[in-house]
Amino acid sequence: MPVNDQITDSVTQVNTQVVGDTPAMATGNLLMSTGQALGTSALNATGANQQGQIVMQAATVQGVNSLLATGSAVVGRGSEEILEKG
């Protein structure tokens, strides 16, 4: 049973379009996944930076607390030694 030429032409055009669109779709998917990965990487770097700043601030606070908790005699003695060397 013969098939109408218009039908075979239509199917051929659809198949050709699908084959022609495939590289563009693959490239689009690659760019989207790469962009997602880079965005996640930047987010992780920002979070790590924030956590590092928190740790540094806590260390500074602990240092200041230990300086303020030191007796005045010890601070005076340390200051005296610094001034004598200077």
Distance (Å, whole) CA 43 – CA 30: 20
pLDDT of residue 21: 85
Rounded average pLDDT over 31-53: 97
User: Model confidence at 51, in pLDDT bands (50, 70, 90)?
Assistant: very high
* 66 vs 23: CA distance, rounded Å: 64
Residue % of the chain over a pLDDT of 90: 45
Q: Is the sign of the CA dihedral 25, 29, 34, 40 positive or negative?
A: positive
Which regions of the chain does DSSP assign to beta strands (E)? none
pLDDT, greater one: 66 or 57: 57
Q: Per-residue pLDDT averaged across 24-35, rounded?
A: 95
CA separation for the pair 86, 83 (Å, rounded): 5
